Chain A
């Protein structure tokens, strides 16, 4: 039987409760395997519960409007909700109690809290609205909500089950968990009790009151900022309205304004005291300005950086952080992170087509014992699984290949993980700029506005603490990728028809930021009543600052409005005129016939006080533990390969569609078994051009705590060598900086930021590599009582490079026995924060720094050799040093290698550095391992003669990696399958 319908109350009704909606639960038939159930069983096992096979079944639940007739509901179930081969449905009529679960079976229900995005429910509602048989008598739209039902045949009491469910199946920040209870809700979120259209009494408030208003309102405005607002409104002669104050808080937030980077800094270092006026302009932007690369089309001025590509197209790139939301809800946080950065690309210039995504995660130790987990934190494993799933579900649904990224583990990310998401787009040349004109209509496109994401921008600007999850739940959202895909489809068609003159995305700050920014040079008037809402009861301020996802704002000339609305309707996208741009230089908001905000654009954008912040820097006096000798290099190599920063990320990569759109040339994983960790991805962006695009990254968080200057410089070097290793032209690399730092109100944190920024300037200048975009997230700490866990200073660098001809791209797997192996670049005594030191539990040490005089020329020479076709394989030497690079190349290629370590290039070593350990595991910069055919060896050696190049070994048919020392003793002799197994042996999701 397909369905069982319960229409009359059961005897057990006293135990259960009913809901005023049709309730449909869809379970697998018992004859069919239930993968979701098995996954739940595995998760329970991991928590230490003994689960028998088939003890958990997972069902999909739906609630539908009570006004539907029984036969309508049955038909909806049959035609839409149930697979007739695999599934069966249980239908319960409105206000009828659910039949009791069989004895010994517990039921768990997980349902999104009222107002939290429920994408499946939205899709069901839209589908039923188009279906003729599902009409309601009163012509209302059918409402739907979804839930997940778990049926567990487990000998657990309700309390133990609730505790397990909280860790595994439900995140109570956004979801309701019902354990052996059936009282689901079918409610709209309650209307806000907060005041909203009145004025805020600021003008006569004391400093204490000002701070209290800022804190209580979640505004994250400092006292100086509150005072600036008071001073302004004294001039105006009235109190600010709620909407005005909220608009100022959003626009002035660290997230939107980058007050630290753009502010004044009094920097004290051993060299003395100096005043830095705008750190960004003095370092990162300065490198770009001075380099003045003609192929930089638009940098630091829009949603993303834009550089020239080929054949009438430019490439644009943006990378964002989404740290705090991901700490509280990893799945939703990472999903909306990637959704947001995709919208940055959709909204750059006149709109670009996203062609690739990247992601990077920095989390606490994956093997952390549960009892060491700080209160209020999620386990790093759960965080990592959640953020991977979030990126997967959003990126895959958008049809954008996720091609590059990384995972880094460090104990100090335990309370504040970092999530970076990046998107690369393709935009026709000449579309990089936009202009809003007065009189143009303001059109909002895409998702409806709800009470989600209130204060995301201001929330991201403060530190996390053990009650953040409960207090800031409103700042967390769930993404709806299908709405964003519709928006993309409509938007790019509207662009090509010339239907708008400017656009931007709704990100942090929602409409307040988007409209405020677009109208900055002219003025704007918005009627908040026109904004389409998800449900009633929002205050004007909530409508205005909601960060509900999947929305774009367009400036549309009046005569183009009808065609734009028609096009959007044809694509099934909601588009609504909500106001117009004016020439008043004021931002005016109306609601229900009243003016709820009337703000001067100039004050909104230029009125932020520039605080003077203090920064201190003195080089750390670190112990140098050197490089102790190792008695068993074979074991050490196998251990290093399994360390989380090095171990295979295949379990993540395979969950991402990294090939959709058909542009991939070098995939993230390469080699005979498709499991070699490639240095960077290569795409063929345009069908009719052989020009490629390499996308790579670099980061090394452990180094940041020791030497932020070196960390920043080495991270840039790593990103560059990754893209050069696959065939990228070092003269055509553009880079992006993404800083995640601790609280920069603390002078030592800000001092480290100054150091790192200066390293960015020096390194970018030396390599001739401009920054084209960047972002900073400066409050990454976790407060637990009196203790604060500060993340290590982290700079994540993204590099995109032109590959002149994709047919010359190079992968890292060894290709043919008999080929020569070359080390390029000199090894130094640089094991600070290396994987070898970390494995031995050693702190301190010297952090690698690229040789800024030699390194750029080395990259250029290597690229020439690649262009000549002399390089069969190339891999950069990074974490784990030369030993790990050789191991990865060997198992990836399914070939062995014999290496004479005494031939490897190594600088004079200070005392305490064992020469063998240093050569094998040092992580010095700008080094590569290169495979060259014998017939090209001479030419290759000649070309690289002045660039620290030494032949150190040969590729062999025998599938073993054999590394000998000077005395011709064997240091390492290991089968490549053992290396592969070690590399695959880490955490696998």
Chain B
């Protein structure tokens, strides 16, 4: 396929970054690898940074530090998970992945880890040991490539690692070299969806069992399949209704489902955009880098606690008073947090509940939302309203025209237009602006009690802030009023269902598909239990279907 071939070409270019001892054999390794790939995948999906990290943690342990930057992600239709289908690896990305790979490999074979992470000890540390290398590569290969390696693949890796070990006079250096190579392989960096003939529907194709296992694992765990899931793929259990249910039930009851819930909400809420968020310290001194990082964690902890620990109604995420704070975050919210951590020790995360009636209820009142969607020195009801429409309600907001005049909006010291509402009202007097701002501003203005950094305020330039608004014909006042209206808006639940599906499938569901309608009904019947939603999606055929165009292309047919 186009994407994976491009990635491979780039990775071949990147082979020059490998140790010289390995470089000489690299083309032979690649040739053997390519020959071992039986079927061309119908779709390739690049691992997200969180999937990369979680996979490494699950394969080698959480103590392996992953330091370095990843290739930028692509947000498509509101989700990075959809964009992951469309990205390859740039030449700079190859270097980044190579740096990451070397760092991981060096740790896996270092003296602190080799005894636990390698299944054997070499006969001598200063030379190759093919038997031990074979055991190591076979053990990690299945988890890294998410399928058993062919004997040709294993032997080519064993040969390469032996060459490296003998050249470097160090068995472990040889294993590190081959592990680095595997970590920058497209087979690790990309999830492939490989098709096979469907025996139950002659003439049709389906995902092969290992692709299905990967789809399931990255959907429910945001990570590589474990050995039990790979075994279910090997035996074909995963292709039976009962077998799939056994695996899905096992996986949704595992603590690892938290990884998927975190990854999904970080994606849905646009947390990758935090990379460019900055606040002017002169005006928002409480918004430190620690706060910026911890505000995301606060929301994810709130989500995990509510949806998994409490098995709560998804809609209540917008009204829940329960959250978690640190002593760095608490000042943003103007509340005390008594953390008796010893001096100099890392801060504790502590549960915190806002008082009834506090405008801070719900995740949209948290700094992760209001600060993310505000410029450095002022609020942006338009930005907040747009994010709310797109991320929470799945409603499109057109981009502004190219010649838009921001003179009113950005003039925060205008003596006439003292509040943001005043300025936006003036801005909307321009006809070309009015249409879109009607969509975004009434809900964004409801959050004006929260400044650009998430602090609470009641006045702006000495004028009382008006936080009244309207959504879907329902009028409300203030952040708590907005939260209540959102709670009761059916678009909120249908949106999260669509996005959760897309997080796993890499595409949005067809609105009128009967199976999809059934999944949504079960979500409703479960009182909007998010884990149950994940379970129903995982059990459906929809998660494992490819778009017709992909199926046709894989079969070598032309698509009309």
**Are A and B subunits of one complex?**
no
